[in-house]
Amino acid sequence: MSLDQNPHNIAGYVLGEHGESQFAAWSTITVQGEPITEIAKDQHLELSELDKAARGGGWLVFNGKKYTCYAIATCAAKLLQAVFSDAKLACPASVYLEDYGCYVGYPAVIGKNGVEYVHHLELTDEEKKTS
């Protein structure tokens, strides 16, 4: 299953803990500005299969390399650079969400104070249940 797109044309969020409990927030995902849900209808794509592939991506890397430390280290370095340079970098990060009473991977802006603010996403009721 392929959208035959440059990854830079795809925007949106996969939320939650990295791994098996993460989920694609389909309401946030666009391809060249078009909602993925509409593209999936037009192209008869199974979003559940795409979600499954995304959740299994870490295992795919682990099974091939037997470790995933480089991706984790790259993300940590990027976050540190954002803090030290006050970059105001918009990216997913582990943030505390009062609605859920815990830390979760969610879009935030990272600067000299760490998490400067958390973006509010208008998730569907189903996505809210999943998170």
- The residues carrying an active-site annotation are 18
Residues in the chain: 131
CB proximity list for 95: less than 8 A, separation 6 or greater: 103, 104, 105, 106, 108, 115, 118
CB atoms within 10 A of CB 110: 23
